[in-house]
């Protein structure tokens, strides 16, 4: 229960995707070796990760039941009971995330968007309402929503973050290119494209040197 490291936690969604893919192919049972091969991981690591979240043991010689693993991991990640979230900033990135239908299968349901120019924004395609940002605090209080997603330009991000915190939001997913900090009573995940890009670029330049 407690023994799950952050690293394990981050691998779980990847396992889940692969397992679902395998299930679709009619694969009923899968070994840690197979999974490790597909994901370029160590089989011992895979087994340890599974042991942390799944009560059902694997069988020597056969491996794990695909279906059981899918259930256990989904449960552990809370994919079966979605949490509600609001998003602030209905620009391109905001809309992309709103339209990203997969979120629901990841246990996240975006129920409303907020924007400075709520009235100017054509509410095409999307089924969720867009409100003026002034209505945010009341909305949060009324609905008790816990998660806020920030997709505003970087100059507004800090202000929006504060507003979310004072309104009672308890978890913030920040896509603006600023490092936001919050009180200890609030969880934050700074989604840092620049950091990802740095890793990729570095590997690329190593590869190019090898040629």
Interface with a second copy (CB under 8 A) = 4, 6, 9-14, 16-18, 38-40, 77-78, 83, 91-93, 95-96, 99-100, 102, 106-108, 146-147, 154, 170-171, 173, 177-179, 181, 185-208
Distance CA 197, CA 192 (A): 9
48 contacts which partner out of DNA, a second copy, none, CB within 5 to 8 A by kind? Answer: DNA
Smallest separation (angstroms) from a second copy to the CB of 169: 10
Residue 152 structure tokens = 């505003």
Contact at 8 Å (CB) between 170 and 145? no
Distance CA 95, CA 99 (A): 6
Say how many C-beta atoms besides its own lie within 10 A of residue 126's C-beta: 15
Residues engaged in binding DNA (CB under 7 A): 5-8, 31-33, 41-45, 47-48, 50-51, 57-64
116-123 long-range contacts, Cβ below 8 Å, gap at least 24? 116/156, 118/90, 121/90
50 contacts which partner out of DNA, a second copy, none, CB within 5 to 8 A by kind? Answer: DNA
14 contacts which partner out of a second copy, DNA, none, CB within 5 to 8 A by kind? Answer: a second copy
């Amino acid at each position: 229960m407690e023994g799950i490291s952050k690293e394990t936690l981050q691998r779980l969604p990847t396992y889940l995707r692969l397992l679902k893919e395998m299930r679709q192919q009619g694969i009923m049972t899968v070994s840690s070796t197979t999974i490790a091969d597909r994901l370029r991981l160590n089989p011992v690591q895979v087994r340890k990760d599974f042991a942390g979240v799944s009560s059902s043991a694997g069988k020597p010689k056969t491996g794990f039941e695909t279906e059981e693993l899918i259930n256990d991991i989904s449960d552990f990640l809370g994919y079966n009971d979605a949490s509600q979230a609001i998003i602030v900033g209905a620009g391109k990135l905001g809309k992309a995330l709103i339209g990203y239908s997969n979120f629901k299968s990841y246990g996240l349901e975006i129920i409303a968007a907020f924007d400075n120019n709520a009235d100017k924004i054509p509410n095409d395609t999307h089924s969720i309402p867009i409100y003026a940002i002034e209505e945010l605090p009341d909305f949060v209080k009324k609905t008790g929503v816990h998660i806020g997603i920030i997709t505003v330009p970087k100059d507004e991000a800090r202000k929006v973050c504060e507003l979310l915190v004072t309104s009672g939001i308890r978890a913030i997913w920040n896509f603006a290119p600023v490092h936001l900090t919050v009180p200890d009573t609030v969880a934050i995940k700074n989604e840092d494209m620049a950091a990802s890009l740095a890793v990729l670029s570095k590997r690329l330049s190593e590869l190019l040197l090898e040629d």
